[in-house]
Structure 1
């Protein structure tokens, strides 16, 4: 397991979530803090994390079992789907709103964080509608919603649109109005990711601008929801090494401390999550970090001490089941994971005409690539007699590499290591295949600085390296993923299974 951010001396080190938990939003209910994040085209979607101290987090489930419309997500759409959700608690229910840039704004709700969650309800259809956030105004009983725009779909950006909303969250009550036009704010561009709050008699929108990798966090306030808003930059990189810093959410502890969680773009590692202290200045504006600069190490929130924890990565696949940390690259189908009574994950070698490109496979089981030097190991056996059947461990992004086992035309099982560049339509060998005499292998990937990956395999004589260094790459919005898969060429009948056991991620390559 990768160690968490808790330094054990009353302080923590950022990032508090060192993996791709993109576009985080945070919420407190009683003594508990909850966080959700973008899940794009993976299923299940909308991860749900829990903490008691804002530093040590665990993954407790997902709110979205399958993406809808289901037909659109039967194949991988890595950068589409669930963008920038908002998590809220109102009327004794949890609510999540998100934008699908190709379909519109959806919401789901549940009586508890673990569900059952309702099916997605579309409250505003259209292309380019992203980053929605609701607000139920306890002072007036009114409900509102704000959202941003994706220029890639709508031709519009740098604007925030506001609506009145039915208090039950089922529909919007007007056509909407641009409440912030950042083209009119000198120096501001790509305003997005708004989070809407009511505080001290003001409507507040906390939203980033300036671009994911190089921008800043802004705050906007107005006496009326529809404006006019005044703005201020409240967090920017400054002299720190934390680029961005980008979109996130504000939370107040029961003792009245204010904190802000946001992400930082880290290339192939995606968008890692930082925790910043927050206070209010004499003019009533929020001040984040160390007077507007992100902190790397800081005292923990004044909350009861918690045991160190982090979202799970390791898996023994008890009873053939996989843990919450895994997501498919598309809506899953029956038969991908045959049931059995023993330990180990059996993945069916799914018959598909797209065996040459792992990026196009819907039946890849993935989890996030840690943003620290680490080593990933898993044991694999291939029980498939069909020539061309294969299974393996992949680092999956715009470019990808994998190492695993394949049944050859000669009837033997071979250890293979293959890769494909971002523009390639077919994968190539990264090393010469070699025999795996018992149809088994231990697979290992060592990830160093800059997400540079070295592949190794043990077929009975100890780990041996295979092929050159592979530099992991993200997709446009999604960090690189670790993936397990099994496929076979198109044809009739069963093609067998790949069985994975003892999946482990260890820090520092040890």
Structure 2
């Protein structure tokens, strides 16, 4: 990519796509990163990198989806896996994650690729969120976590709990150690990450809210406090709103870095990488402050390992080799065993019950919408009777879909949109078709969408005056789906030649 003074540089965001609430560590010469997955299945994506800039997805720590499986058999938007943490201790990788309706759970594996253990409930209770463990120098272990006001009736408080070294149970009473209400003008405190350095206990935590907040750091000589605080990274003069919640990582060469997210609305919570150093006063500095500037994000910087930057998003083209989806796809709900029909040359999705609202449909596979101008396309064949449909969507709270629907008069190519509060979808195009349809949706840099349908050599473009929207705690998704109305017979939709093309920014 670009060079600065002869060095390869990277641009932020390093991953311009939805990877909410990232946490990362280094083990040996590899970096490992995880993110929230909420209701999506499989869940808890695991990424690895050798240079902190280019990342590959290698596993899902919840390959079967969320538990309990029966509850998550329907789309539970905003539920499931909230902000997790990853740590390595005694040759084992631990991911500690919250389900705000159950408590704090743990999975473990010998390698990032797995196999990952079944979830174990470490702490039960409503509203326990954003956990992170710490193993102390004397062998004792602790967990810090936050609170979801929607479930617990309390917020902006960080709590520390003694736990056993294997993260199986609490070993002592919990104590609240930080209260955002005690810090003038700070308010929201959440997403803590626990560290030990130079005789201090350190808690890195975002403050001030997702869209407009900043990165806070707290330190104390005692694990239970009192903690003093400092604001170490904020938007300043940059376009990076709310630069916070992430991970301090020390590279192989001893330099420090900070991975964090930025909320970009329909493009999701995208991942940035900041240089980090420790000041003469013992506090960390981040971003431009490392080189003597203000405490705000860098937009471009020399790459940590001197490597060029490659593909900066998560969505991938897919030929559906073997009739199965590639590793970047996730379902909106835990899939039924018969969700995919066998076959070669295409992905065959058996339809699910369809209320007329894609947000309630179970048979939906998605990938994060790229954070730059893009075009997604796929060929759709629908084998079904009246009341069935299948296609490609950009799915958030609001959505646009384009594809094929079968009615009493036969097959039609359709483009439709639905906005929050609408009682039904609004159809922007409906034309008869007699064969498969190639569907494309173009997303501009401002998230405005245009659909394109090609059948029998004829192409129609439709501009429905529609802008993609975020979902619940996530960005929009590129999604393929198959549904049948109540009373209609199930159908099978065959998807082939899925392509994602990016406009370089």
TM-score interval, smaller chain:
over 0.9
Which of 448-457 and 215-224 deviates more? 448-457
CA distance in 2, matches of 1:118, 1:61: 13
Unaligned runs of 5+ in 2: 290-294
CA distance in 2, matches of 1:468, 1:27: 44
| 1:320 counterpart (309, 320, 323) | 323
- Tell me which residue corresponds to 1:115: 114
- Tell me which residue corresponds to 1:308: 310
1:79-108 Cα deviation digits (max 9, x unpaired): 111000001111111100111111111111
CA distance in 2, matches of 1:174, 1:229: 20
Pairwise CA distance, 1:424: 2.0
Q: How does 1:75-114 map to 2 (within 5 A)?
A: 75-114=74-113
Report the count of equivalent residues.
Answer: 497
- Tell me which residue corresponds to 2:366: 366
- Tell me which residue corresponds to 2:397: 398
| 2:486 counterpart (480, 485, 490) | 490
CA distance in 1, matches of 2:311, 2:3: 8
- Tell me which residue corresponds to 1:437: 434
Normalising by structure 2, we get a TM-score of 0.95
Q: How does 1:13-412 map to 2 (within 5 A)?
A: 13-65=11-63, 66-137=65-136, 139-291=137-289, 292-301=295-304, 303=305, 305=307, 308-309=310-311, 311=314, 313-340=316-343, 342-350=344-352, 352=353, 354-384=354-384, 386-410=385-409, 412=410
| 1:504 counterpart (493, 499, 504) | 499
SS at 1:152 equivalent: helix
Report if aligned partners of 1:146, 1:160 keep a CA contact under 8 Å in 2: yes
CA distance in 2, matches of 1:381, 1:220: 56
CA distance in 2, matches of 1:268, 1:6: 30
Pairwise CA distance, 1:313: 1.1
Pairwise CA distance, 1:307: 7.4
- Tell me which residue corresponds to 2:444: 448
SS at 2:446 equivalent: helix
Unaligned runs of 5+ in 1: none
- Tell me which residue corresponds to 1:471: 467
Pairwise CA distance, 1:496: 3.1
Q: Which has the higher strand share?
A: 2
Report if aligned partners of 2:287, 2:297 keep a CA contact under 8 Å in 1: yes
Query: Alignment RMSD, CA only?
Result: 1.8
Normalising by structure 1, we get a TM-score of 0.94
Pairwise CA distance, 1:281: 0.4
Pairwise CA distance, 1:155: 1.6
Pairwise CA distance, 1:508: 2.2
**Consecutive aligned runs of 4 or more in structure 1 exceeding 6 Å deviation:** 4-8
CA distance in 2, matches of 1:55, 1:407: 46
CA distance in 1, matches of 2:374, 2:53: 21
CA distance in 1, matches of 2:3, 2:119: 36
Pairwise CA distance, 1:315: 0.4
